[in-house]
């Protein structure tokens, strides 16, 4: 499919050239999907994103009745990790689940299973990030208001294996949650076995913007 054309006009409003709009990339292989996520992240890191040039009004119309995201992401609720921006993607491209501490609950797994079984996403990336408040809180296990402490138990194993190092706990947690997705869900397990899906773990650096697969 050709990229959408954009008319370029001079100061008098007369069209002078036609510049191509970026064509959306919709990889349909498991390896290609993870590669596109990382390529989008590289554009974001280099401060050369292209998703902002997409016509969101057209995208909203095109996706009114259907969605075909190529990747799913399990990310943290943290405001500093906006998933579509981090991977330079737009409407209809990512199927995103978020919870503080980016861990897999039954509801998160069910949502990702929908992404795999129905929407046919080709990769799931569990995305932890540096300076994660949920991980720090789980390490301290201090008394907190409301139900915030319910975040502690799912992060306990990573905290125990980290030796008290927050950034190590973030990395271990991303790996453990990716393992949990591969083993606890028959839908995900079978898609991986059939090579229709990859499940990966990554960590996001708040300053550089880079996602590193761990
Ligand atoms: Zn976090």
The Å distance, Cα 143 to ligand 1 centre, comes to 19
pLDDT band at 159 (very low <50, low <70, confident <90, very high): very high
The Å distance, Cα 102 to ligand 1 centre, comes to 7
Q: To which residue do tokens 């069910």 refer?
A: 110
Contact (Cβ atoms closer than 8 angstroms) between residue 70 and residue 36:
yes
The Å distance, Cα 184 to ligand 1 centre, comes to 23
Contact (Cβ atoms closer than 8 angstroms) between residue 90 and residue 69:
no
Please, which contacts does 208-213 make with residues 24 or more away whose CB atoms are closer than 8 Å? 208/45, 209/41, 209/44, 209/45, 209/86, 210/41, 210/45, 211/37, 211/38, 211/41, 211/86, 211/87, 211/127, 213/38
- DSSP class of residue 158 equals H
What pLDDT is attached to residue 189?
Answer: 98
pLDDT band at 141 (very low <50, low <70, confident <90, very high): confident
Q: How far apart are CA 209 and CA 41, in angstroms?
A: 8
The Å distance, Cα 21 to ligand 1 centre, comes to 34
In this predicted structure, the answer to whether residue 16 has a pLDDT above a threshold of 50 is no
pTM of the predicted model, to two decimals?
0.88
């Amino acid at each position: 499919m050709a990229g959408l054309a954009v008319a370029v006009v001079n100061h008098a409003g007369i069209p002078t050239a036609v510049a191509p709009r970026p064509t959306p990339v919709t990889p349909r292989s498991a390896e290609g999907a993870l590669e596109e996520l990382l390529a989008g992240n590289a554009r974001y890191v280099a401060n050369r994103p292209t998703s902002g040039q997409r016509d969101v009004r057209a995208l909203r119309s095109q996706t009114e009745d259907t969605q075909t995201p190529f990747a799913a992401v399990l990310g943290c609720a943290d405001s500093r990790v906006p998933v579509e921006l981090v991977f330079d993607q737009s409407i209809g491209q990512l199927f995103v689940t978020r919870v503080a501490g980016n861990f897999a609950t039954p509801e998160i797994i069910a949502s990702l299973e929908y992404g795999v079984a129905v929407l046919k996403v080709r990769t799931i990336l569990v995305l932890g990030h540096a300076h994660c408040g949920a991980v720090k809180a789980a390490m301290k296990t201090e008394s907190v208001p409301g139900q915030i402490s319910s975040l502690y138990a799912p992060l306990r194993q990573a905290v125990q294996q980290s030796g008290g190092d927050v950034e190590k706990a973030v990395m271990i947690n991303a790996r453990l949650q990716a393992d949990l997705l591969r083993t606890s869900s028959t839908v995900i397990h079978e898609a991986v076995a059939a090579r229709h899906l990859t499940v990966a773990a990554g960590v996001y650096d708040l300053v550089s913007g880079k996602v590193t697969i761990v």
